[in-house]
Amino acid sequence: MFLKNRHSLLTFLLVFFTAFSLQAADIWVATNGKDTNEGTKASPLATVHMALRKARELRRLKDASVKGGIHIIIKDGTYYFDEPLFVRPEDSGTADSPTTIEADVNAKPVFNGGIEIKNWKKTTTAINGLKKGTVWVADAPEIGGETINYRQLWVNDVKAVRAKNTAGTTMERILSWDKETETCWIPFKDKSVKFEPGMEMFIVQWWAIANLRIKNIEVKKDSARLSFEKPESRIQSEHPWPAPWISKNNGNSVFQLNNAMSLLNEAGEWFLDRRNRKIYYIPRAGENMATAKVTVPVLENLVEIKGTIDSPVHDVKFKGISFQYSNWLRPSQQGHVPLQAGMYLLDAYKLKIPGTPNQANLENQGWVGRPRAAVEVNFANNTVFESCSFEHLSSTGLDLNKGTNNNKVQGNLFKDIGGNGIALGVFSEEAFEAHLPYVVKDERELCSNELVADNMITNVANEDWGCLGIAAGFVRNLTIEHNEISDVAYSGISMGWGWTHTENVMKNNKILANKIHHYAKHLHDVAGIYTLSSQANSRIEENYIDKVYNSPYAHDPFLWLYLYTDEGSQHFTIQNNWIPIQKILKNNNGPAGNIWKDNYAFVDPKIKENAGIRAPFAELKKQVVIDEAWGLQEMPKSVAIELIGKNFDIEKIKSTIKGFRIVGEELHQWENHLVIYGLMNQPERTKRKLALAFPELEIKIYENPVYDFQNFERCKDSKPASEWENIVLTANLVADEKMQKEYLDYHTTQFEKWPEIAKGFCNADFQQLQVFKNGRQLVLVISIPKGENLDKLNPKTTQNNPRVDEWNALMKKYQTGIEDAKSGETWILLKKLEDKK
């Protein structure tokens, strides 16, 4: 009996000590802690910096407590950082013993790179013609006797606006840009605006913006000439893409002047007077400056995880941490002229003689730098960011740049971010021309095998409008899946860099089941998903893309897309993506091409339902930002435009209408009648441009069909085809106006009183049948699955369906041939003009 109990006791002790030895080391941090404390729950440290040092020492000394890992547990509260948290190779864990920096249970700790401004007072004098006390003032914070500089300010976590010369979201248009003198002419009617050192110009140019420090303003009557500081003055005037645009059709580039005391005149605006060490603010409705939390960013970088190629950081995890308030000052110091995706130009110019060894027709060169990020990761493997938040940040949120492999970014919130929400991979290093294919000798340099999943990315690119929800450069084996992206100034997801079809490091990348909506708020040449360059065996599948903002100042009002494969894109499979219409662009893709299949609104409904954030991160959906007041793009509608005349210049016609981005554009001709058919916005504007180019032609618009059969609405057991052939015919109604009305009445009530007709169309697998009318003339469009033949399908409309024959016989008395038709000929078939290969 004694021996038996003794054996049980020994077994218990063995299990107890084994379990104890497998427990992770816990290091506690609290806002009321001290860095001289032990780091226990009862005696916590004050900073995560000291906690990380303590963890580093435990590993250096091979303390037994780290066998099950190290947990740095952060209690609730805000932790103001004086310096970034630097995670080194010595801080690495292992697969069995990771280092985890995590929130305490039910806590929401904030790593804050900013500083609060307090003691606000009403100004005692009138400023800029405003009533006394409208403007509030506080002492600007200093470090080392120098006034801290910053470009953003938040009041109660809501971003304020730098003082600017325009009201609300309105902007003005430049008058001209002189590349030779590196100057810009602008309208300048408000003479109360005065030049001040530090004043800037914010200008929109194609798919990017630029921040230019103003050197001088030369006023002449109601206009002014701006000159700019270097280096941005030279770069802005020398780089050909994207440059300021001058357009009679769509208006010139839009701009704002900002950062001057004389511009401070609207609620929500602020100005930092560094010379006099004062900061001014005009409160918005409901803001009480006596109690408001006013925050400005100080640190450009909150966390830096950085190893080396031979000694990467690994097995470090952040969970439940909020990263808030980062700064970014390069635009204030050297200007900011991006090429794309926020990557700013260091040098750029147009080639006098086009062509490089890699691209025979390339006519420009550019070298780019990379914006700072709140959290930067280089040469790190197996790191994790889970259930964290990245908010109120001036530039990029999270950046996995170079030498990052097998990292996971899952279930995080990215919200209120000035630049890219997430950036991944090299975007050409500073010494590497941007149009060259990226090839490495040591693949450990790559950003590869990363997972970006189940993140909410919303209200991003709100400072640099050319940034994205997720921006991926030269990446390999990247998976971007089940994220939700909304309220973005430009595109949702961009993958690829280099503008080249030459093979490079990119391959096996995947963009799957993401939900992307409410994008293109400010810029065009934009898409929900955008790609560049050759990416072998890459896939874009089962994404849900919908609802595009109406950008009021876009250089091209029609260049908004759902899917966009840009220069050099090849080796992609793009299929089963839910998009409302096939508004896509394949621009100068690589010779190997891409596979496109079933990208439209009639894919499996589960694709739309399953896209976006999954459990257990579904709570993030509540954080979505949608600017309901902004307005959405008007969806293009089916329209036919008829040109009547002789000797049509087909190539000139195509060139004239190219800028209108007609979806599914087709040209059909019969003798002196040419019909342009497709989904169009602003057909009247299209007609006007055609009329200017071809004054000798008669031009007619056919819109708002008098009859509209759609397969998806009327055929319950049929799935619409993803690609169609359109047959276009034309005829006239008889001259009798009473009979014309009867014809229209029959078509208005056909679905109700003659349901057999629609049943016949379903039986024949017609995808749509539309009848347009202009005066007496009708245009009939019958759409059938691509590869099918109307002569084969049409008899099926009457099969076991005599009512269709009755209908056809009845309609004949209302129809007659157009003016040029032969006697007895009613419906004229227009032949489709095929594109030249």
What pLDDT digit, counting tens, does each position of 351-377 carry?
999 998 888 899 999 999 999 999 999
pLDDT band for 837, please (50, 70, 90 cuts). very low
Q: What are 188-202's pLDDT values in tens digits? A: 999 999 999 999 999
Q: What is the pLDDT of residue 3?
A: 37
Q: Pick the range with the lowest mean pLDDT from 246-250, 332-336, 488-492.
A: 246-250
pLDDT for res 742? 98
Alpha-carbon distance 430 to 434, whole Å? 9
Inform me whether the pLDDT recorded for 20 exceeds 60.
no
Mean pLDDT of the region 522-546 = 98
The identity of residue 733, as a single letter, is L
The CATH architecture to which 637-832 belongs is 2-Layer Sandwich (3.30)
Predicted confidence (pLDDT) per residue in 645-696, tens digit:
999 999 999 999 999 999 999 999 999 999 999 999 999 999 999 999 999 9
Residue 836: per-residue pLDDT: 58
> How many residues in the chain?
837
Across the strands, what pairs with 670? 673
Q: How many CA atoms lie within 13 A of 784 on its CB side?
A: 17
In the block, residue with structure tokens 């993506």: 577
Q: Is the pLDDT of residue 22 over 50?
A: no
- At residue 8, the pLDDT reads 46
Contact 384, 405 (CB under 8 A): no
What is the CA 159 to chain-centroid distance, rounded?
20
pLDDT over 90, % of the chain: 95
**Residue 153 near residue 392, CB atoms below 8 Å:** no
Query: What is the average per-residue pLDDT within 611-631?
Result: 97
ω into residue 109 within 30 of 0, thus cis? no
DSSP symbol at 224: E
Structure-token pair, residue 671: 């003798």
Give the residue-averaged pLDDT of 20-26.
63
| pLDDT tens readout for residues 308-344 | 999 999 999 999 999 999 999 999 999 999 999 999 9
Percent of the chain with pLDDT over 70: 97
Q: 444-468, pLDDT tens digit by residue? A: 999 999 999 999 999 999 999 999 9
Return all residues near 737 (Cβ < 8 A) that are at least 6 apart: none
Which residue from 310, 283, 322, 404 is spatially nearest to 89, judged by alpha carbons?
310
- Residue ranges covered by each domain of the chain: 24-113+299-325, 117-163+265-297, 176-255, 332-349+366-380+404-635, 637-832
Task: State the chain's maximal CA–CA distance in angstroms.
Answer: 119
Q: What three-state secondary structure class fits 326? A: strand
Which range is least confidently modeled, 332-346, 608-622, 715-729? 715-729
Q: What kind and span of H or E run contains 50?
A: helix 48-60
Residue 416: left (phi > 0), alpha (psi -120 to 50), or beta? left
Phi then psi for 414, rounded to 5 degrees?
-120, 110
Show the beta-strand stretches assigned E in 428-559.
447-448, 451-453, 456-460, 470-472, 475-476, 479-481, 484-488, 493-495, 510-512, 515-519, 526-531, 534-541, 544-548
Q: How confident is the model at residue 718 (pLDDT cuts 50, 70, 90)?
A: confident
Q: Taking Cα atoms as reference points, which of 372, 418, 417 lies closest to residue 399? A: 372
Closest C-alpha among 780, 746, 786 to residue 767:
786
- CB-based contact 85:313 (threshold 8 Å): no
Distance CA(583)–CA(634), nearest Å, equals: 13
Q: What is the DSSP letter of 802?
A: H
Residue type, position 554, single letter: A
- Contact indicator for 320, 102 with CB cutoff of 8 Å: yes
Give pLDDT tens digits for 556-587. 999 999 999 999 999 999 999 999 999 999 99
Flag the least confident range among 15-19, 56-60, 586-590, 705-709. 15-19
Tell me: pLDDT of 19 over 60.
no
Under the banding of pLDDT at 50, 70 and 90, the label for residue 249 is confident
Q: How far is CA 753 from CA 486, 763, 813, in A?
A: 44, 18, 19
> Cβ distance 345 to 209 under 8 Å?
no
CB atoms within 10 A of CB 609: 10
Calculate the average pLDDT of the chain: 95
* Confidence class for position 23, pLDDT limits 50, 70, 90: low
> Among candidates 400, 383, 380, which has minimal Cα distance to 309?
380
Mean pLDDT of 518-538: 98
pLDDT in tens, 270-299: 999 999 999 999 999 999 999 999 999 999
Looking at residue 358, its pLDDT comes to 83
Q: Residue range 591-615: average pLDDT?
A: 97
**Residue 833 pLDDT greater than 90, yes or no:** yes
Question: What is the C-alpha end-to-end distance of the chain, expressed in Å?
Answer: 95
Cα angle 682, 684, 688 (rounded to 5 degrees) comes to: 120
* Pairwise CA distance, residues 459 & 488, whole Å: 6
Q: Mean pLDDT check: name the lowest of 18-32, 46-60, 110-124, 736-750.
A: 18-32
Tokens of 232: 């941005």
SS3 label, residue 774: strand
Residues 425 and 447 sit within 8 Å (Cβ to Cβ): yes
